[in-house]
Amino acid sequence: MFHSWLDRWDERRAARGDAVKTTTRFALGADLAFPGAGRVESITEFCALADHAVADPGYFDEPTGADPTFEFEDDRLRFRSGMSSEVEENNTVWAKVTDSGSRGQALVVFHHWNASARYRQIARFFARRGITVVEIALPYHFERSRPGSLYADHMLSANLGRTIQSLRQAAWDGRKLIGWLQREGYGEISVLGMSLGSWVAGLIAAHEPAVSKAALFLTAGRLADMVWTGRATQAIRESLEPAIDQEDLRRAWGPLDLEKYAHLLARDDLDLHLVLARRDTVVLPDLSDRLVQTLKDAGANPGILELNCGHYSLSMPPYILWAGLSTARLLRHGR
């Protein structure tokens, strides 16, 4: 009976999110994902560029250049993104710092899609354990929101190229922030991502050698499959389906597929921890299971915590407490 109530609670929470989401026009947007690629007029051409990006080890490396100015006042950090979008507000990166008083460990947190508030309780939980927490705003969220938008429709959408651009920008921003933390003297840097934020955290963990531990909550490998099958992204699928099938979408969004980087996530000096919800209707459990198996096949030995809750009810006790404690053990001792 309790789990039936939990499922209904998750469904009501999902329905509230649906109230502001709308279908949008499908677009390739290749110039956003692959600058300088020239005129791209077909899905086949777009997918060929995506294949090339997957094979490019530097695709998630920000071009070298002068370091930005970091402005840190009270608990707020601000710096210029290395990627420029058409929304000026999005081009300044904001982060909230919950200082533990120690330069030993820092944890960079990447929130979920359409988050309405930062994770104050999570930040305090880890700060009390001697870990400084830095909550970065993903593109088009919080201070970076597009004026007039009701949700972060530019972060994840039926515009193939803009979605890649947004997650690539998030990875660049996160890596730039990690560089700042290194210069500030933090000896160990970890990442934690929630839902869509777990894709960003996973991409960074795969490509940024300074990250030693990664906790991925409510995650899977193929972003395309999550969008196609997930409860929270039905409006995006409705926009995509007349123009592209699921198989082509997998290939088009290949650069965002964590399974493509399983060999990088399996490196010896990275500890991985996954927190999964067995009643999840947003990131379906079989998609998470596929990522776990792909990681193991690549030689990784991730810690796995499976909870009998839904996507949204992970935020409720006791589930969030169990997730927090398991992550605290990872940060303290490794896998």
- How, if at all, do strands 303-307 and 71-73 pair? unpaired
* Range 71-77 contact pairs with CB under 8 angstroms and sequence separation of 24 or more: 72/97, 75/99, 77/134, 77/177, 77/180
**Which amino acid type is present at position 293?**
Q
pTM, two decimals, is: 0.97
CB 227, CB 156: distance < 8 Å: yes
CATH number of the domain that residue 185 is part of: 3.40.50.1820
In a structure prediction context, what are the per-residue pLDDT tens digits for the chain, which is 335 residues long?
A: 677 878 898 899 888 988 899 999 999 999 999 998 889 999 999 999 999 999 999 999 988 766 678 999 999 999 999 999 999 999 999 999 999 999 999 999 999 999 999 999 999 999 999 999 999 999 999 999 999 999 999 999 999 999 999 999 999 999 999 999 999 999 999 999 999 999 999 999 999 999 999 999 999 999 999 999 999 999 999 999 999 999 999 999 999 999 999 999 999 999 999 999 999 999 999 999 999 999 999 999 999 999 999 999 999 999 999 999 999 999 988 65
Exposure of 55 by Cβ count < 10 A (0-12 exposed, 13-18 middle, 19+ buried)?
exposed
Number of domains observed in the structure of the chain? 1
| pLDDT tens-digit map of 83-142 | 999 999 999 999 999 999 999 999 999 999 999 999 999 999 999 999 999 999 999 999
Q: How far apart are CA 74 and CA 77, in angstroms?
A: 8
**What is the token pair recorded at 247?**
């198989």
CB 258, CB 287: distance < 8 Å: no
CB 160, CB 33: distance < 8 Å: yes
CA nearest 90: which of 134, 50, 136?
136
- Domain holding 76, by residue range, is 2-61+70-333
Q: How far apart are CA 65 and CA 81, in angstroms?
A: 12
